Amino acid sequence: MAEHRTMQRDALLEAARSLLSEGGTEALTFPALAARTGLARSSVYEYFRSRAAVVEELCAVDFPVWAAEVEDAMERADTPQAKVEAYVRRQLALAGDRRHRAVVAISAGELDPGAREKIRAAHGGLITMVVDALAALGHDEPRLTATLLQGVVDAAVRRIELGAAEDPDRITRAAVSMALHGVAG
């Protein structure tokens, strides 16, 4: 029985990812989740009490997966500068992944304070990964610099998500250039 519940919960999360990546937070409704999974709407409420609860669960499940991918890319880099570049490039490469798109859609949406705090904490963990590399590059305030760097990454992700006029590779190159050289180019 527990295995069946786990399978249904996983199916609901997969449906939530699809809905979020296709239509943003507005698309994530319990009737839509029920329709995607073939469950009764009342069954959806047995797993999640609200949209925010679905969002929190997605963050808890998905964020560590791609944070680990970013960390892995950074560990393979051999200089502080290469680590910063890996930090930016890996996040932007993941931007096309449905798990990432779902979390981006979530963070853009209206959430209760608990869900927002979980997202903030997850982002904080991501930012912490690059602090040492920035300190090694001589930044006086590496934590602040890391936060600002993540702002550049987030803006590039949104640009890719929106299907901007530029090719995603151009957006990535521009974000890496900004991360490594600032506005000096």
pLDDT in tens, 5-63: 889 999 999 999 888 878 877 888 999 999 999 999 999 999 999 888 888 888 788 88
Predicted pLDDT of residue 111: 65
Predicted pLDDT of residue 106: 62
Is 133's pLDDT higher than 80? yes
What is the crossing angle of helices 80-94 and 168-181, to 10°?
150
Distance CA 116, CA 121 (A): 9
Predicted pLDDT of residue 109: 57
What is the distance, to the nearest Å, from the Cα of residue 4 to the centroid of all Cα atoms in its chain? 28
Domains of the chain: 1-48 (1.10.10.60), 55-181 (1.10.357.10)
Predicted pLDDT of residue 175: 96
| Mean of all residue pLDDT scores within the chain | 86
Distance CA 114, CA 131 (A): 26
